[in-house]
Amino acid sequence: MCGLTTRHFFNILCDFGEPDEYISEFLRVHPTATICKKITDLIENRRSTRPLSIQLLGKDPQHLARIAEQLGNCAIHGINLNLGCPVPKIRKKGVGGSLLVDLNTVDSIISALLNSTNLPISVKTRIGYWHASEFDEILKHLSSHSISKLYLHRRTVRGLYEEQIDLGCIKLAKAELRCPVIANGDIKTASEALHIIEETGADGVMIGRAAISNPWIFRQICSLSHSSQAFIPSGSDYLDYIERLKNFTDGTGPSEHRMLSSMKKYAVPIADFVDKVGDFSCKIRRAETLREFHGACEKFFTAPDFNAFGSG
Ligand SMILES: Cc1cc2nc3c(=O)[nH]c(=O)nc-3n(C[C@H](O)[C@H](O)[C@H](O)COP(=O)(O)O)c2cc1C
């Protein structure tokens, strides 16, 4: 996830319980694009040895192929094409989710990527631009290519994050494609992840926001799938997580304001997840100094009635 799933965050997961594979935040590909520093840093300095795919966001087959060819020389395991980003600023550039209105260009992009490298090419998509009825046509186009995996966010592009989630589309994709299909969208707990796999026949789940608010979720899924007790983080586990997040910025010397806003990107979803009452979330959003921020964390996570699945 852009700005969140950095090399530092992935390194934290190495200690908390890793996913089976990683996909980077997107690398924006335009005519003069190169492999930017945050992507080379991730490739070269990550601790995990589990498979890593680099995600590309762009619309020009020639330039996407050029970057894919360069990535072919890097220590990665695949390339993922973004056909799902719904952010208006991105959509206006005709990339991400807006490519779903031009499936001939999608065909040209996938063909160019497949011809440019031996790395597996996977796709991350939504089920349509305007409407779920577009999904049949999208699948028809995708099934004509040898993509290695489909990661499916079960909403339309215009449905942003609000639309009702659709489970039937996973079954449809499983029936139409030869490659594994991975379900994505609103999976918040280990039991939800296992339920979706059982219900739809998906080959796995992709976790986005819940990995930020509960970075132990991959470990919990693994335990639950082996019928063992899932790990329940304590308040001090959360304080340790927040301390590790804070350490990202140490050494580079950002201002207090920058550090606080960088911490809030992670802490707001954490607070929304663990605090069902809302006081803590409110304090985190309003904190104007690191002292206020840490004071609120300290008070909430050391409270005797702290419960990782909803205090209050
Ligand atoms: C802040 C933010 C940044 C994101 N950045 C990316 C991205 O770079 N590439 C991508 O494919 N999806 C991105 N997404 C979408 C997520 O990968 C995921 O598809 C979506 O949030 C639904 O899954 P979830 O409910 O598990 O979060 C982003 C989402 C958020 C909230």
- The H or E element that residue 83 is part of is strand 78-83
CA 2 to ligand 1 centroid distance, Å: 7
Best of 209, 265, 270 for a ligand 1 pocket test (most atoms within 8 Å of beta carbon): 209
Q: Which residues pair with 81 in a beta bridge?
A: 56, 123
* Helix ranges restricted to H, the chain: 7-16, 37-45, 61-71, 88-91, 103-116, 135-143, 168-176, 190-200, 209-213, 217-225, 235-249, 256-274, 279-286, 290-301
Task: Give residue ranges with CB within 6 A of ligand 1.
Answer: 1-2, 4, 25-26, 55, 82, 84, 124, 153, 184-187, 207-210
Q: Are 237 and 216 in contact (CB under 8 A)?
A: yes
CB contact at 8 A, 81 and 54: no
- 120-138 pLDDT tens trace: 999 999 999 999 999 999 9
In 3D, which of 20, 156, 36 has the Cα closest to residue 91? 156
Residue range 23-52, pLDDT digits in tens:
999 999 999 999 999 999 999 999 999 999
Positions marked catalytic: 85
Q: How confident is the model at residue 312 (pLDDT cuts 50, 70, 90)?
A: very low
Judge contact between 229 and 223, C-beta under 8 A: yes
Distance 159 CA to ligand 1 centre (A): 14
The pLDDT of 226-238, averaged and rounded, is 94
- Considering only CA atoms, give the Rg of the chain: 20
Asked: is 7-225 a CATH 3.20.20.70 domain? The reply is yes
Q: Ligand 1 centroid vs 85 CA: distance in angstroms?
A: 8
Whether the Cβ atoms of residue 224 and residue 194 lie closer than 8 Å to each other: yes
The residue ranges of every structural domain in the chain are 7-225, 235-301
CA 118, CA 115: separation in Å to the nearest integer?
8
Q: Which residue type sits at 248?
A: F
Instruction: Indicate which residue's Cα is closest to atom 22 of ligand 1.
Output: 185
Confidence at 310, pLDDT banded by 50, 70, 90: low
